[in-house]
């Protein structure tokens, strides 16, 4: 089977950790900063970091239009934490000048689980990822408040730090938060799988890129 080339958007955030995890999961992983480097990959990871900073750097490095085009053409993309925010069609509690790629029809609340001191870990069952629940690390993490009809919810979590309850989530109790979604070739999680040593989610994305 062909080894997919998967880029990690290397403007800010957990770039090295994602490259290492993707490599261990069987991909030809490499950092991507320029449009020419994007042209050479079969899929892209948008890492965790600071979403407003990533948004600004995407424009500085002239990556917005190339990434928008590749997403429209069906390139698989996985966004973790800040990457989830960058893939959302709507962001709550973000900056007015913050712009993402609007690939997944969802509303995401930025820093929903609290500040850095509110970081936590919790088990999350991921649809399509076999085995025990994924031990997920949440750091200044977003959650998903609304999904469109084409979006599959593949992971939710209960608990976490004490936060204000805002609305309900897709027919479930308000305390059950959406933290992992998929829409076609686009995948997003609120948490950081690159920090756990559990390669199953990266392997899932590598296979998605291989078969896209």
Q: Which residues are catalytic?
A: 81, 192, 194
CATH (domain of 156): 3.40.50.880
- Structure-token pair, residue 212: 């896209």
User: CA-CA distance, 191 to 136, in Å (whole number)?
Assistant: 6
Q: What is the pLDDT, as a whole number, of residue 26?
A: 96
Query: Average pLDDT of the chain?
Result: 90
- Classify residue 37 by burial, with Cβ atoms within 10 Å: 0-12, 13-18, 19+: middle
**Model confidence at 71: pLDDT above 50:** yes
Q: What's the average model confidence in pLDDT over 135-164?
A: 85
- pLDDT tier, 110 (very low <50, low <70, confident <90, very high otherwise): very high
Task: Decide: 156 and 191 in contact? Cβ < 8 Å.
Answer: no
Q: Percentage of the chain surpassing pLDDT 70?
A: 90
Question: In 3-state terms, what secondary structure has residue 188?
Answer: strand
Return the closest-CA partner of residue 43 out of 29, 56, 23.
Answer: 29
- pLDDT tier, 72 (very low <50, low <70, confident <90, very high otherwise): very high
Domain that holds residue 168: 5-211
**Number of domains within the chain:** 1
DSSP string, 99-166: -----EEEEEETTTT-SGGG-EEEEE--TT--SSPEEEEESS--EEEEE-TTPEEEEEE---S-----
**Model confidence at 162: pLDDT above 80:** no
């Amino acid at each position: 089977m062909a080894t997919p080339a998967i880029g990690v958007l290397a403007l800010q955030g957990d770039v090295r950790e994602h490259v290492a995890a993707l490599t261990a999961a069987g991909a030809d992983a490499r950092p991507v900063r320029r449009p020419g480097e994007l042209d050479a990959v079969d899929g892209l990871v948008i890492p965790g970091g600071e979403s407003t900073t990533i948004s600004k750097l995407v424009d500085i490095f002239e990556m917005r239009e190339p990434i928008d085009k590749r997403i429209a053409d069906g390139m698989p993309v996985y966004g973790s934490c800040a990457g989830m925010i960058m893939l959302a069609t709507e962001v709550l509690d973000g900056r007015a000048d913050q712009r993402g790629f609007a690939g997944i029809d969802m509303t995401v609340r930025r820093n929903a689980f609290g500040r850095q001191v509110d970081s936590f870990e919790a088990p999350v069952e991921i649809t399509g990822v076999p085995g025990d629940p994924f031990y997920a690390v949440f750091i200044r993490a977003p959650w998903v408040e609304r999904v469109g009809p084409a979006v599959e919810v593949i992971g939710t979590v209960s608990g976490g730090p004490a936060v204000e309850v805002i609305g309900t989530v897709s027919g479930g109790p308000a305390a059950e938060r959406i933290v992992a979604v998929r829409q076609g070739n686009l995948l997003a999680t609120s948490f950081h799988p690159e920090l756990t040593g559990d390669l199953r989610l990266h392997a899932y994305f590598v296979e998605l890129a291989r078969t896209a």
